[in-house]
Amino acid sequence: MEPIKVKHVVSFLLFLCLARICTSSPVGKKHFVLVHGAWNWYKMTNLLTSIGHNVTALDQAAAGINPNQVQQLYSLSDYVEPLIEFVESLPLMERVILVGHSVGGAAISTAMESFPEKIFAAVFANALMLGPTLPYLTVFNKEKKNVRLDF
């Protein structure tokens, strides 16, 4: 099997393991927030809802049904704004499982740093994930000061 296919298969299997652990959890059903990269989450949404979980599949800015246009995005923080607004709007005691694919990893990293009290777990499915010594918000703040994205 090609190395890239192996990575995708391993990421998917890890995600399924997490879903299985959550279904056998005595505390009940979980709320999954699926953040796209190149994937859509149609099949995964159906799978998770069929076993009783709450699932939210967000479209990031200028993607899917999100009304923003790519010309309206001036930074990566503009791109992840829908996820940040969603997590911010969660009820006080609700904790979610974030799942990010590809560049969705950048989005869930930002949400984890901004709202750690609202995150139960995070799954990076073949996704961008910075190390603990370089938080994503640091990258965003530097990018806001120095770079304008031209599309």
pLDDT single digits (tens) 103-144: 888 888 889 988 999 999 999 888 777 666 666 666 666 655
- Residue 61 placed within a domain: yes
- Please report the pLDDT score of residue 99 as a whole number: 92
Distance of alpha carbon 124 from its chain centroid, rounded?
A: 8
Q: Are 47 and 112 in contact (CB under 8 A)?
A: no
- Residue 151 placed within a domain: no
- Residue 62 placed within a domain: yes
pLDDT at residue 47 is higher than 50: yes
| CATH number of the CATH domain containing 48 | 3.40.50.1820
Looking at the 3D structure of the chain, how many domains does it have?
1
- Residue 33 placed within a domain: yes
Q: Are 92 and 117 in contact (CB under 8 A)?
A: no
Tokens representing residue 115 in the block: 């709202």
Give the residues across from 54 on adjacent strands: 31
- Please report the pLDDT score of residue 12 as a whole number: 65
- DSSP label of 99: E
- DSSP label of 65: T
Domain region containing 83: 3-146
Higher per-residue pLDDT: 97 or 102: 97
